Amino acid sequence: MTDPRLADLAARSPGLRLLTEPADLVHYGRDWTRRWTPAPIAIALPSSVAEVQDVVRWANDHRIALVPSGGRTGLSGGAVAAHGELVLSLERMHRVLGFSPAGRLLAVQAGITLQAAQEAARAHGLIYPVDFAARGSCTIGGNVATNAGGIRVIRYGNTRDWIAGLTVVTGEGELIELNRGLVKNSSGYDLRQLMIGSEGTLGVVVGALLELTDPPPPAQVMLLALPDIDAVLAVFALFRRRLSLQAFEFFTDVALAHVLAHGAQRALAGEYPCYVVTEFDAADEAAQQAALAAFEEGAAQGWIIDGVIAQSQAQAEALWRLREGITESLAPHKPYKNDVAVRIDAVPAFLGEIQALLAREYPQFEVVWFGHIGDGNLHINILKPAAMDDAAFIAECERVTVLLAAVLEKHGGSISAEHGIGLVKRPYLESTRSAAEIALMCGIKRVFDPQRLLNPGKLFPVD
């Protein structure tokens, strides 16, 4: 270690793994945004809570910024280290620590992947129901940091609904146990909920108690083709009334074209403006008949043009791939991502306004719409025209986001539904949160992290 500050860290915490090779700095210094050039001073890979505390105390002594890091699948730059920070990766802390059958709680270290946590739950005959496409790489710590949502929120809610306890190292290195799995705990502020969604700015999550639940009854997966967004919302209301929905996901013909070009299999012969992949309980004949009846009613109303029900697990997975493969299929086009939320009843007006605005002001951009429509959560991805330079594209997209933020504000929406604010949406936080709220958030940050060492530059408009 040529840097004396790193030599000091190595001396204080002899078991701590530290990486300084250029390839490691790049690998751990970025997330899926790929917009910033990674430049951390080093990567620390603790294997225990004590080592995390060593790192945080050392950072306080040397006033070095820390970037807590999970699977780095984030899309808002929340895990980017571009300014000489130390990346604090929880990757080696990935164990299941215990299971309580009576409480149905799974204790995990923060670096466990969502998929490994889901598999551990299934081994006990239960499920951890938060779910989304990045499950194999993203970690529970990162899910907590952004209050991750995903594809089953209409049924199960967000990450914050499934966290019964958190173990956190604060910005000064103090270890706190929050809520400890209690179902009832009326003893003042719920700091656990404050940590969830704080994007690594208040503390380093080192462990979590995940609440588990019964697996849902056997489900069926349906792909629907629809004429427009009004029809999507009408079918959502119809299906929600008639069926027990687990997921209701929307995408456009443009999104489908990218997934098909990326290797997914076409499921319907024709081409249509909008699609929905929906999953619903179908335990018995009656539930399956109810689904068919709902489909027929939607078709009779002119809301559904075509559709298919998966007849096997493999077909169900193939239908899901049409939705879950969108992010990966867009990646080569360097998309500028917007992840917005409005109340479900505001979706048609909001969407109409934004579509008109984009078509009028930015006809040169290909815009891909998809998302968790049942939650009012839309992903608006603007693709970079091949001939356009990266910086000019981002500058142009930021101008779009200013307009988008104003429309969102008008409809009472949020500039981030589930990806977090990070670096990407930091300039627009004020469109979603009032000045009074932001001032209170800054005050909270000062209490947990007085030297402002935890993920500086993220979340707050002015740091």
For residue 325, which phi and psi values (nearest 5 degrees)? -85, 0
Rounded Cα distance between 308 and 225, Å, is: 9
Nearer to ligand MLT, 32 or 58 (CB): 32
What element of type H or E holds 196?
A: none
**Residue carrying structure tokens 């629907």:** 224
Alpha-carbon gap, residue 221 to 319, rounded angstroms: 7
Q: Which residue, 199 or 339, is less far from ligand MLT as judged by CB?
A: 339
Task: Give the single-character DSSP code of 159.
Answer: G
* Cβ 314 to ligand MLT shortest distance, Å: 21
Question: Based on CB atoms, which residue is closest to ligand MLT, 140 or 212?
Answer: 140
Query: CB of residue 326 vs ligand MLT: minimum separation in angstroms?
Result: 6
Residue 461: Cβ-neighbour burial (10 angstroms; 0-12, 13-18, 19+): middle
**Minimum distance of ligand MLT from residue 8's CB (angstroms):** 40
* Tokens coding 399: 């101008």
Smaller CB separation from ligand MLT, 150 or 165? 150
Dihedrals φ, ψ of 369, to 5°? -110, 135
Q: What letter would DSSP give residue 113?
A: B
CB of 116 to ligand MLT, least distance (A): 20
The nearest distance, CB 84 to ligand MLT, in angstroms, is 29
Q: How long a stretch of residues is the chain? A: 463
Q: Which of 266, 274, 281 lies closest to 322, judged by CA?
A: 266
Owner of token pair 């490691």:
24
The single residue listed with the structure tokens 């209701």 is 248
- Comparing CB distances to ligand MLT, the nearer of 67 and 75 is 75
Nearer to ligand MLT, 192 or 321 (CB): 321
Nearest distance from residue 151's CB to ligand MLT, in Å?
Answer: 7
Q: Which is nearer to ligand MLT, 75 or 277 (CB)?
A: 75
Q: Which residue's CB atom is positioned nearest to ligand MLT?
A: 327
CB atoms within 10 A of CB 349: 13
**CB nearer to ligand MLT: pick between 94 and 379:** 379
CB-nearer residue toward ligand MLT: 337 or 411: 337
- Between CA 402 and CA 415 the distance in angstroms is 10
Least distance to ligand MLT from the beta carbon of 107, Å?
A: 27
Output the smallest distance, CB 390 to ligand MLT, in A: 18
The three-point CA angle 218-221-226 to 5° equals 150
Query: Cβ of residue 212: shortest distance to ligand MLT, in angstroms?
Result: 23
Residue 444 burial (C-beta neighbours within 10 Å; 0-12, 13-18, 19+): middle
Shortest reach from residue 288's CB to ligand MLT, in Å: 28
Diameter of the chain by CA atoms?
73
Cβ-based nearer residue to ligand MLT, 133 or 400:
133
State how far the Cα of 31 lies from the Cα of 74, in Å rounded to an integer.
Answer: 6
**Chain residues that interact with ligand MLT, rule: CB under 6 A:** 75, 133, 326-327, 337, 339, 379, 381
- The CA distance from 169 to 186, in Å, is 23
